Chains A and B, each alone.
Chain A
């Protein structure tokens, strides 16, 4: 059963609607969204509310339902330079 979710780019507020399958992994959603927005090089994570979603979990395992809004945020990496 296809689920339609919304992924929000927190950097600019843009959103994209994505069709997903329950067995699709969160890691694939992260990569697809980062590529869609041609994001700056860097690492990104996806959160739903106050929970970071595990890349290895599926849509189903993550408890995501249709019309959920997920947020793509940069995972900070700097500190030393």
Chain B
């Protein structure tokens, strides 16, 4: 007889649609190891995902500490974000294998993964992941925050993608990249707090669990828009844009 609590996932096994064996075997690519990346990796590991590649080239800064579970004061200024998360995620589950990739996503081969979770802070990276994921037919779950607002969009091989919902204001925003330290640094106009970040991360990982469990039909295929000021979540239809380059347009 299995001792009560012997299997750390015995409660999750009671959720009928979850395929924990598939979740254990899934190869996840998480892009971005900031606030959202911390929460997403935490939720992935607690949910039973064991093979996670985490991409980020950045070093931990003090302002990260208020929103990042895996970062410590002693890390500030010297430790790479992806390395800190990778080493400490194992304290949540010793079976978790989080592999840091200290790089920019533009230099990463995404093809060796079953699912991609985007936790980035700029449109350029989103467009890159979006187009490659669609080309490779790898499900892509994008999360983003803006103050107390956030969104999650799941991109599958059919249906709308991130670029279908973009316009000239996105292009202008891409052009606003600027440097404050000599590096190619992008500063978001309105940062988010941990509560908004946690909500968005939870929604992202839940989408991943559905997909990996073979229940893509349950996914929010359009844009799930969260407004923490009002306390509302709204599912917005995203029409496929025939001019989108990922849908045969220019």
Contact = CB atoms under 8 A, between A and B. Distances in A.
A80 B166 contact: no
Interface in B134-189: 143-146, 149-151, 164-170, 172-173, 176, 186-189
Contacts of A31: 167-169
Contact of A79 (B36, B164, B187, B223): B36
Contact of B33 (A40, A42, A80): A80
A56 interface: yes
A74 B64 CA distance: 23
A79 B188 CA distance: 9
Given A75-B151, A78-B192, A26 B237 contact: no
A78 B173 contact: no
Contacts of A77: 121-123, 126, 144, 146, 173, 188
A52 B239 CA distance: 7
Contacts of B63: 81
B238 interface: yes
A54 B120 CA distance: 23
A31 B63 CA distance: 33
Interface residues of B, number: 56
Interface residues of A, number: 28
B96 interface: no
Contact of B121 (A50, A55, A80): A80
A51 B237 contact: yes
Nearest to B126: A77
B243 interface: yes
Contacts of B203: none
B176 A79 contact: no
B203 to A, nearest CB: 12
B190 A40 contact: yes
A52 B165 contact: yes
A43 interface: yes
A45 interface: yes
Interface string A17-44: 0000000001100110010000011111
A77 B189 CA distance: 9
A73 B173 contact: no
Given A40-B189, A76-B145, A80-B36, A55 B168 contact: yes
Contact of B239 (A34, A40, A54, A78): A54
B207 interface: no
Nearest 4 pairs of A and B residues by beta carbon: A80-B34, A55-B167, A76-B146, A80-B121
29 contacts: A27-B168, A30-B167, A30-B169, A31-B168, A34-B169, A41-B176, A41-B189, A42-B169, A43-B167, A43-B170, A45-B167, A52-B222, A52-B236, A52-B237, A52-B238, A52-B239, A73-B225, A74-B149, A75-B165, A75-B169, A75-B170, A76-B144, A77-B123, A78-B144, A78-B190, A78-B191, A80-B37, A80-B56, A81-B63
